[in-house]
Structure 1
Amino acid sequence: MTKTNTGNFFEDFALGQVIRHATPRTLTTGDVALYSALYGTRFAVQSADTFAEAIGYPRAPVDDLLVFHVVFGKTVPDISLNAVANLGYAGGRFLAPVYPGDTLTAVSEVIGLRENSNGQSGVVYVRSTGFNQDGTEVVDYVRWVMVRKRDPNAVVAETHIPTLPAALAADALGDAVPPLDGDAWRFDLSGSPYRFADYEVGERIDHVDGTTVEEAEHMTATRLYQNTAKVHFNQYTEGQGRFGRRLIYGGHVISIARALSFNGLSNAFHVAGINGGRHVAPLFAGQTVFAWSEILDVQEISGRDDVGALRLRTIATKDQPCAELPLKTGDEYDPGVILDLDYWVLIPR
């Protein structure tokens, strides 16, 4: 009997199944430094203890997306080791700050299943939750992923597609941020004078800069998250697959786009929730990522006079600056679009 893990295939999942994922992970300042080196993120709250302490944090919190990726990585061996593609996200909430020294674990529940018509694969919907060492929920989200079947003839559970929220309510997004001293916010140090009242619905911001992705960088990033998906690492198998090379982890694209968004949104210091998102097309090493954001909504948060919420739609593209690119032609995305992400950020008022 083999003792190795070949991962779950589509027919191995069942509605209501709860999976406790292996390998607790203690985040350190080394992880934070490596994350900064990989993406060049510059948000002041996560970059400097002095800035964070001045406005009300005990110290600089870990970047929200680093937390997301570490929790996501724990789920891969059980959920998406045999994935064809990660398809989308919804209902993501960042529930409590994480600091260096905190230890993260993850649990997932299968909330939906749908076999594809070709009988070769199916879509699995899971809600994954990350906890710190005290059992406090720090992040949760829904994702759906296309997973291969081990046996095309296997009988699978009946179809169930979960109902997911189109967007999270802004009032539910402030708990992960302590009360902030707005008078102590140094706009000269944060990189921009623009605050909540300076943004309007419908405004589009071209983040201008571009980042070329190198093979070693995206593999280092994915290892940082302990994400073991074959499509990112194994050129022997992926070289014989549909694309002929390794895919870049979609979360790597999200972090690049978030880092690029500093140019235009540098005071949007906290990713509070993920309403929805999809990886529209694959990205490969050697291609250059650009990004732009549209302000979908601006919302005050009940009981908070220190921060407001911006709902953003950030579009990432490959090898084509955003100023030159339409989002869609008819119902089809432009071939240059690789990410379409709808999320909430918090920004000082």
Structure 2
Amino acid sequence: MDATYKFTKFFQERASGEDVAKRVNDFVAALNTDGAAGYRYIDGAETGGGIVTFGEDVLLVKDSASTYTYQALPLRFDVVSPSTIDVHAELLQQMKTQGAAGFVFVKILAAGLEQGDGRASEFATLYRKDNGSNATYDYTSAPFPKTSTEYESLGNAQGANGFRYWASPLMANQGQKLYFIKDASSDAKYAVRALVDPRSEIGGDDDAVKAQFRDQGAQGYRVQLGFSFEEDRGRFSVLYVKDTTQAAVFEYESLSPPGTIFVTQELADQANAQARNGLRYLREPGSPIYFSARQCTGPLCLTPTESELTFRN
């Protein structure tokens, strides 16, 4: 199925005396309207998140015959004594419970559900369900790696068990972990590579990066993200992921950003123009990359969700 991209804006100010959760509920209701039309959330730039306001500019894609249901759940943390609540443990358990019901984690929203007693607060955790699938999901987490070598070892160990990188939300005063997802209905296994970004070396340029993309794509590796790990001494790596049960081939096209570096209608227009050429949006608004996949089935063939492409929420 061809991909169709859509840009939407949501913004709401909470009226005096109005339930804090209304902003989240109304946002989820808007997503469910799009989900019923077959649109899947892939990227969002929050334009206001606090006690009074919440807004987000959203990019969605329709690339299957499925429809989607969205749901937001509370995630508690203690703003005064953060160590009293292990937020990562609570999030992982919530992910597992939701995964057993067929929901995948999307992101943590900036909007709080309630302010509590001045200590414990609740933020909204967004989930999505593919209504055309009976798949269930499992999740696991691991400490954030300090080097690209550690990431490769971790990603390949998880991938051998069918888990692939999914998200890395940063919790206030509790640091960051990597979260991995497994589709219980799939036999897929994954391998990852962390290669030096050619631009981190003398003489390296954008053309060298594109050549690396082409070489890895021909070997079945899809671009995931670029990152400089804490102990890699400023060296950037390009991370790749491969479904080892397939002989997929990926090709890439890099374009200039259509205006600003943020999610906009112009980005959706550019993505739709590329979709008509058989390409799918990969990442990112500031430096758009598009890809095509051959001999490929499953999630790596589709436009990924923002959380899969970044080491942050």
What's the TM-score, normalizing by structure 1?
Answer: 0.27
Q: Which has the higher contact order (CA 8 A, sep 6+)?
A: 1
Using the size of structure 2 for normalisation, the TM-score is 0.30
